[in-house]
Structure 1
Amino acid sequence: MVTEDDVRRIALALPETGEKTMYGTPAFYVRGKWFARMREEGDMLVLPVASEEEKAELLAAEPAKFGTTPHYDGYAVVLVRLDEVGAEEMSELLTDAWRLRAPKRLAAGYDG
């Protein structure tokens, strides 16, 4: 299980990442593009994924961990239940979301 503080620590360790508020909740940005946001309830994280197909696969494979709402229908975005993931998996999820939104050169430099 991870907490909002764990999410913050992991997200802000990624290159050129900052925190701002989005819809009244903490959100994390790389060069002005959001890549993660806490939900209002504080128990879920909103994350972009590569495609709607990937979203469907995650939802089907692990419905206890990943969810969605009608608000996100048609968008490549999933909700991650914080009490269902550990720190290592959250790090992978946040890093993948960061890579989706980071400029290509920045992501390539991070991946080394």
Structure 2
Amino acid sequence: MPVTIEDVRRVAAPLPRSYEVLVHDRVKFRVGSIVWLAFSRDEKDMGFAFPKEERLALVESEPDVFFLPRPSDLRFNWVEAWLDALDEERMRELVLDAWRMVVPKFVAASVLRDP
């Protein structure tokens, strides 16, 4: 079953240091001033923090799920995905990995139980 913005909120909202904002009619999640998760205005796609050096391989491996951000956002560690192409497990993995990129390691470890 495809995920919705509400499914993503249930994962992203309780994460330490994460908070939701509305910017130009778009829902975004931040840690401090860093946007690590954002939705299109129509809430059909989700952008999230992702390593630049791995982005192209991800998009090329699953172009029906992932796509590159607009050209002006290529300078950021960012990739996008169609929400209706994700299941709950995949979405949870992407959201947690994106959040982990922007919080201190000890904060991530407290939630994810990483060594």
Q: Which runs of 4+ in 1 moved over 3 A?
A: none
Q: Structure 1 stretches of 5 or more lacking a match?
A: none
**Secondary structure, aligned partner of 2:16:** coil
State the aligned residue count. 111
Instruction: Give the TM-score normalised by the residue count of structure 1.
Output: 0.88
Identity of aligned residues (%): 31
Give the aligned partner of residue 66 of structure 1.
66
Give the CA deviation at 1:110: 1.9
Give the CA deviation at 1:41: 2.6
State the distance in 2 between where 1:11 and 1:72 align: 22
**C-alpha offsets along residues 22-73 of structure 1, whole Å, 9 cap, x if unaligned?**
33211112344221011123100111102x2211111110000001232333
RMSD: 1.6
Give the CA deviation at 1:20: 0.9
State the distance in 2 between where 1:74 and 1:32 align: 17
Give the aligned partner of residue 100 of structure 2.
99
Q: Structure 2 stretches of 5 or more lacking a match?
A: none
Letter in 2 for 1:63: P
Instruction: Give the TM-score normalised by the residue count of structure 2.
Output: 0.86
